[in-house]
């Protein structure tokens, strides 16, 4: 087994440990949600005896640690349980929502990653000029805006004033590809604007740092054109930090869609977890939270492995 394979196994073990700790925190955290699931489902007019019987049927009368162990055992067997509000299998509820969220994140990534890389390269190539300062000012402004503010600005401009896109992103399986693309355009643009700024600034910083190295100065003294220095010498050595920040921002696209989906009423996993919290549907909240956590941990591990694969010197930091 080579060093990279050992590193991947080590990272996977750490990821599994992290995910176990997060699962405990998720299960413990939802217990502090105000209200009671049995009362929420049965209504305020239910008698105490009925509520007690319903809680017993759900296993809510058991001690905390027993409920956690039973939930964890079911999760390890691929069983998320049954939704309290609808009585449906949670896997059937989450499947289409997870697909919608993945499509939204993929569209945002397709928009943001190429533009961020190109913008960062242009800013590095024309550093300390008006173009560089303008790009830095725009990206700093974008980073300062929260997602819901960007969403409302885009709704005002592209939905209310011009009517180019719908303000609500209602999608279903029977929609055509063009209709679906139009429906998810605004939430995808919102997410792209939010993550593009960070990736662009990181790309610029990585390339500018490398352009000050001695081998870059040697290439300049040899008369190598600036664009060739950038593409052939600087950019390949900047791939490790750039790949790292790109993957981390992709993790944010998956896990940070809750606010955006709520603003646009997009039927994704983020909207589902908000609706489930309102209904006190604890099993659905736990399942959605665990999926978000697993996605984030997995993409973080991917970022670490990619950074080391691109730059093997990181495997031996000493």
What are 264-285's pLDDT values in tens digits? 988 888 888 888 888 778 888 8
pLDDT of residue 37: 63
Mean pLDDT for 290-315 is: 77
pLDDT, tens digit (0-9, with 9 covering 90-100), for 41-97: 666 666 777 777 767 776 667 777 888 888 888 888 888 888 877 778 888 888 888
**Higher per-residue confidence, 113 vs 305:** 113
How far is the C-alpha of 115 from the C-alpha of 161, rounded, in Å? 26
Percent of the chain scored above 70 by pLDDT? 90
Under the banding of pLDDT at 50, 70 and 90, the label for residue 315 is low
Mean pLDDT for 211-220 is: 79
pLDDT of residue 41: 66
Residue 317 predicted with pLDDT over 60: no
pLDDT, tens digit (0-9, with 9 covering 90-100), for 120-134: 888 888 888 888 889
pLDDT of residue 38: 65
Residue 242 predicted with pLDDT over 80: no
User: Domain residue spans in the chain?
Assistant: 99-315
> Per residue in 198-214, is it b (16+ CB within 10 Å) or e — as a string?
bbbbbbbbbbbebbeee
pLDDT, tens digit (0-9, with 9 covering 90-100), for 154-179: 898 888 888 888 888 888 777 778 88
pLDDT of residue 125: 80
Question: In the CATH hierarchy, which fold is given to the domain comprising 99-315?
Answer: MetI-like fold (1.10.3720)
pLDDT of residue 45: 67
CA dihedral sign, ordered 304, 305, 306, 310: positive
């Amino acid at each position: 087994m080579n060093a990279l394979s050992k590193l991947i196994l080590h990272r996977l073990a750490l990821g599994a440990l992290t995910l176990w700790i997060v699962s405990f925190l998720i299960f413990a955290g939802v217990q502090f949600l105000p209200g009671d699931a049995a009362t929420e489902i049965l209504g305020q007019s239910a008698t105490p005896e009925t509520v007690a019987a319903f809680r017993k049927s759900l296993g809510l009368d058991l001690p905390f640690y027993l409920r956690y162990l039973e939930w964890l055992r079911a999760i390890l067997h691929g069983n998320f349980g049954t939704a309290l509000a609808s009585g449906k299998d949670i896997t059937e509820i989450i499947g289409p929502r997870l697909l919608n969220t993945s499509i939204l994140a993929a569209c945002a990534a397709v928009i943001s990653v190429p533009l961020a890389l190109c913008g960062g390269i242009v800013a590095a190539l024309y550093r300390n000029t008006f173009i560089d300062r303008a790009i830095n000012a725009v990206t700093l402004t974008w980073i300062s805006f929260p997602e819901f503010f960007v969403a409302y600005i885009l709704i005002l401009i592209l939905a209310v004033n011009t009517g180019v896109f719908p303000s609500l992103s209602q999608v279903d399986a029977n929609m055509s590809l063009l209709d679906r693309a139009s429906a998810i355009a605004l939430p995808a643009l919102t997410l792209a604007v939010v993550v593009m700024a960070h990736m662009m600034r990181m790309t610029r910083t990585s390339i500018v740092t490398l352009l000050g190295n001695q081998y870059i100065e040697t290439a300049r003294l040899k008369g190598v054109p600036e664009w060739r220095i950038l593409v052939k010498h600087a950019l390949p050595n900047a791939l490790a930090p750039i790949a790292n920040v790109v993957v981390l921002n992709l993790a944010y696209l998956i896990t940070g869609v809750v606010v955006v989906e709520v603003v646009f009423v997009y039927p994704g996993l983020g909207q589902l977890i908000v609706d489930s919290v309102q209904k006190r549907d604890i099993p659905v909240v736990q399942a959605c939270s665990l999926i978000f956590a697993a996605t984030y941990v997995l993409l973080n591990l991917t970022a670490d492995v990619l950074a080391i694969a691109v730059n093997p010197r990181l495997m031996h930091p000493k």
